[in-house]
Amino acid sequence: MSSFRGSYTVTVTPFTPGGAEIDYEAWQGFLDWQIASGVPGIIILGTTGEFLTISDAERRAFVDATVKYVAGRMVVMVGTMNAYTPHAVRYSVEAETLGADGLMILPPYYYTPTEDEIFNYYKAICAECNLPIMLYNNPFTSHVDMSAKLVGKLAKSFEQIRYIKEASQRIERIHAIRVESDGLMNPWAGQQVLESFKMGANGYVNPYGNYIPRASARFVDWAYEQRWDDVWAVQSIIQEFDAIITEGHPLYGHQCYSKALAAAAGHPVGDVRAPITTFESLGEEGRERVARMVPLMQELDRVVDVIESRNAAA
């Protein structure tokens, strides 16, 4: 069973104009940038990757192309969730066959399933797939909040399940998961790295890696070393991005601006697919917000340079 650690960018999916197709040329440049920035792993086809807009044929081709291009230079995990259990099983087996290193799987969405239904969903996946699985607890999108007790039961029942992206915004849940799983589960922060690591998080699922990969990888390295002042120096600036983005409509903020900011960093990856509001349609509003965030990107580079220079001299 693989051991995952660090800050994994939960990536956008790049599209050609109008969202017609996946842009593989842009994707290769984006992946090279992630690797050069010191990112140890990526998670494709998550919420940021607009997984609900991806056809089965696109999914297979995208996973295959990603695994082949990365060629072992960093970890590749794949989101394989679906509201219909046989689809989630099929996507998971397909990712394993194509050479992915692990899976990130949200519980069944829309139905608001019971804990028994959630348990049986993951049981069906584990029966057919041997890859390490990261549970994804995000009650804001799935409308399911997996309790620490359920997470512990899943970890103790299935050896593939050893990770969880805990995005409930209840930081205390991280410690409870460790207790309920008898230490088997490795919780990963879904937000608030400093606070999550102090509670026992062991990694970070990172949407900011789409446009500030270097800084958002390094501050997790510092969190492992409990260098809290250095972590805060980065996290405090990241919170400024959040403040600017969330001034707008919450539906388009996360994916739309991740893509716009990746382009501002020199890696254009297209726009989002419907129903999410496109960056292009935001007009001056969107351009003005990006113009406010570009200096923050530059400030983060400066902050990381200063911290790394200081530590090298120590």
Cβ neighbours for 119, distance < 8 A, ≥ 6 positions apart: 150, 153, 154, 157
Of 83, 97, 163, 165, residue with least CA distance to 128: 97
Q: Which of 91, 122, 165, 259 is catalytic?
A: 165
Q: Which of 122, 136, 211, 252 is catalytic?
A: 136
Active site residue 165: yes
Positions marked active-site? 136, 165
